[in-house]
Amino acid sequence: MVSAAVTVHYFYDPLCGWCFGAAPLIEHLAERDDIELILHPGGLFDSRVLDKASRQHFLDSDQRIHALSGVTFGDAYQTKMRHADPVVLDSMLPIRAILATAQCGFPATDMLKRIQIAHYQQGKTAHSPAVLAELAQAMGIEADLWHATFEATNEQDAISESIRQMMQYQLQGYPSMMVEKQGIRQSVPVQSFFGKLDAWDDFLNRLSENG
C-alpha cells in the first residue's frame, strides 16, 4: 500500500458490543487503500465472570446497538448469555490473536471480524485458544506459524500503549477513533455513523481528498 496521507486510529475491544456495532464501518474503512487504519486494542475483560444482572445489561445494550447499526446478535450468542453457566468474557487472548495475525502477515481486521462473529453470532468461547486457532486456519495461516507467533505475542504491551494514548487524547471508552493528518489528531464520533454507510463513505472521501 502506498503511504497514506491520512491515518485513522481505532481504539476497540473485540468483545465490546458497541465495537461490534462499528464493525461494518471498520470493514468498509479497511477496504480502502487511501487511508491507513491502525488498530489499538483495549482489554476490557480479563476473565470476567458475568452474573445474571450483567448478562441482562449486555443483552439490553445489544438491542440498542442492533437498532442503531443493524448488526445481528445471533441466537446462539443470546442463548448462551441467558442460560450458560458460567459465562466468562476475556479480551486478552482474542487481542493476542489479532496482534499475532498481523505478525503472520494477514489482516488484523479480518481476525477481529471473525472473533466478533464467533462470539456475537455463533456463541463460541472467543478466548479459547482452540477457537482462535480455528479462525486462523480458516484465514489460511499455517498451523505451526500460528502457534509459534501466538505464543510469542505479548498483548499487554499493546493494551498499555492504547490506554496511554487514550489518556493522552482524553478518549472515553470503546469504540473511539481519531483521524491523524500532518501529525495532528482529531477525534471522530464513530457511533454517529452507525447504520449510515453512505454518510460514512462521504466522510472518508472528504478525509482522503483533504489529506
Q: What is the mean pLDDT of each successive set of 10 residues along the chain, which is 211 residues long?
A: 78 98 97 95 96 96 98 98 95 98 98 98 98 98 98 97 96 96 93 97 89 59
Residue 208: the pLDDT is 84
pLDDT at 211: 59
Q: What is the pLDDT of residue 5?
A: 86
Nearest to 202 by CA among 3, 100, 193: 193
Q: Are 146 and 104 in contact (CB under 8 A)?
A: yes
Predicted pLDDT of residue 3: 56
Task: Give, in order, the Cα–Cα distances in Å from 98 to each of 39, 75, 77, 137, 196.
Answer: 9, 25, 21, 13, 26
- Residue corresponding to grid cell 489479532: 98
What is the torsion angle, in degrees rounded to the nearest 10, for the CA atoms of residue 116, residue 120, residue 123 and residue 124? 10
CB 30 within 8 A of CB 76: no
8 A C-beta contact, residue 48 and residue 90: yes
Determine whether domain 6-209 maps to CATH 3.40.30.10.
yes
Q: Give domain limits for the chain.
A: 6-209
